[in-house]
């Protein structure tokens, strides 16, 4: 199952606890089937078929295909000098 680094957990929590998001909010990761291309966006709740990853207070929703592709991955995140969030994937070690 996808795991999150401490940085990723903190950033996901920061994104999904902004005013206007419900307590059920999380970051949703989807793919159109291309294993090298993922879309990441805040979501108010999981879709019916989503896999839910909860770690250190952060919630990530994965569509079925993304859940398969990311099963053995670690999600990391950082904020660049312009304040943009950058996500990266690595193999679980």
Identify the domain containing residue 7 by its residue range.
3-91
Q: Which residues contact 41 (CB under 8 A, 6 or more apart)?
A: 27, 28
32-84 pLDDT, tens digit each:
867 778 999 999 999 999 999 999 999 999 999 999 999 999 999 999 999 99
Model pLDDT, residue 33: 67
The span from the CA of 1 to the CA of 70, in Å, is: 7
The DSSP code for 24 is T
Q: What is the CATH number of the domain that holds 65?
A: 2.60.300.12
The span from the CA of 28 to the CA of 79, in Å, is: 18
Q: Structure pTM? A: 0.92
Total domains in the fold of the chain: 1
């Amino acid at each position: 199952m996808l795991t999150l680094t401490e940085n990723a957990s903190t950033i996901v929590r920061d994104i999904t606890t902004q005013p206007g998001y419900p307590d059920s909010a999380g970051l949703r990761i989807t793919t159109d089937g291309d294993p090298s291309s993922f879309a990441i966006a805040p979501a108010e709740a999981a879709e019916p078929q989503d896999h839910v990853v909860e770690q250190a207070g952060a919630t990530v929703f994965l569509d079925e295909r993304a859940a398969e592709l990311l099963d053995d991955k670690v999600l990391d995140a950082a904020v660049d000098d312009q304040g943009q969030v950058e996500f990266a994937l690595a193999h679980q070690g």
